Amino acid sequence: MPELPEVETVVKGLAKKIKGKLIENALINRPDLRWPFPKGMKTRLEGKIILNIKRRSKYILINLSSNETMVMHLGMSGRVLIKNGEKVFRDPNFYWNKENFDKHDHVILTMKDGTTVVYNDPRRFGFIDLCDSDEIQNHRMLKTLGVEPLGNQFSAIYLAEMLRDSKSTIKASLLNQKYVCGLGNIYVCEALWRSGIIPTRLAGTISLDNLEKLVSAIRETLSEAIIAGGSSLKDFKNIEGNLGYFQHQFKVYNCEGMDCRTKSCQEKIKKINLAGRSTFYCDNCQQ
């Protein structure tokens, strides 16, 4: 599933390509993804100007001139791709004749200038919804989210307060979106290695000094991943169909049996199942 860096990569790409443009045609090729599309979605999108595009956690938020926000989630295999100059999509009868589009292109938005946005999702675990922009913070998928890990509210003091009475491991706690949102398995494993904290450590037992290291490690890991365009392990591609490159910088994730990247360490990276996810770590460098 795309995590924060991958979604941020998509958001930045979309903002450059379609911010300020008018949606001339919305082609909806099925009634649902993970859940049914909102009623009247085609009509509610057509003729609207895209005012802004933002990210909240792992969700893409597209603000429209109708004072509605389109909430988009990529699920396990979702992609958002840009096709320039595909004005043929103004006539839906041409859709299946285009060789560079396939049966998993479930929603196609064509801008007035011909720029086309394609939502492709083979496994259909993602979703698209529409919400009153003034009520976006109360959307069912957003209202319980914690702070953003790259935002000013995220700090060691905040984590200490949230995790003070926790009986969960630090790995499970960081994956819990009500504490800090947008983090997933890849970047939690990487950040814990950088901070020297073992994933099985009980969250409530970590000192403030070590939480400071963890916060810094999370910020650094996410920032570097965004610069690299995210990680592409299975399905993720950016809006132009290109792969991310951060997987080439992994220190522990998916590195079972490899030498630890710490120069003075002679240990091999280990793998266990924790919080229902494959977890990679060095039991020498992480305590």
Nearest CA among 52, 59, 62 for reference residue 26: 62
Is residue 72 within 8 A of residue 57, CB to CB? The reply is: no
Alpha carbon distance 209, 95 (integer Å):
57
List CB contacts of 101: < 8 A, sequence separation 6 or more. Answer: 83, 95, 108, 118
Q: Could you tell me the CA-to-CA distances from 134 to 10, 33, 66, 142, 248 in Å, in that order?
A: 24, 25, 11, 13, 41
Amino acid at 226: I
Is 277 part of the annotated catalytic residue set? yes
Alpha carbon distance 144, 243 (integer Å):
31
Give residue 77's Cα distance to chain centre. Answer: 11
Q: Which of 3, 24, 68, 86 is catalytic?
A: 3
Residues in the chain: 287
Rounded to 5 degrees, what angle do the CA atoms 92, 108, 102 make? 80
Return the structure tokens found at 211: 């939480």
Q: Which of 34, 124, 261, 277 is catalytic?
A: 277
List CB contacts of 99: < 8 A, sequence separation 6 or more. Answer: none
Q: Which of 48, 55, 56, 58 is catalytic?
A: 58
Secondary structure of residue 100 in the 3-state scheme: coil
Is 2 part of the annotated catalytic residue set? yes
Work out the number of other CB atoms within 10 angstroms of the CB of residue 99: 6
Q: Which of 2, 5, 149, 199 is catalytic?
A: 2
Rounded to 5 degrees, what angle do the CA atoms 252, 218, 246 make? 50
Work out the number of other CB atoms within 10 angstroms of the CB of residue 186: 25
Active site (catalytic) residues: 2-3, 58, 277
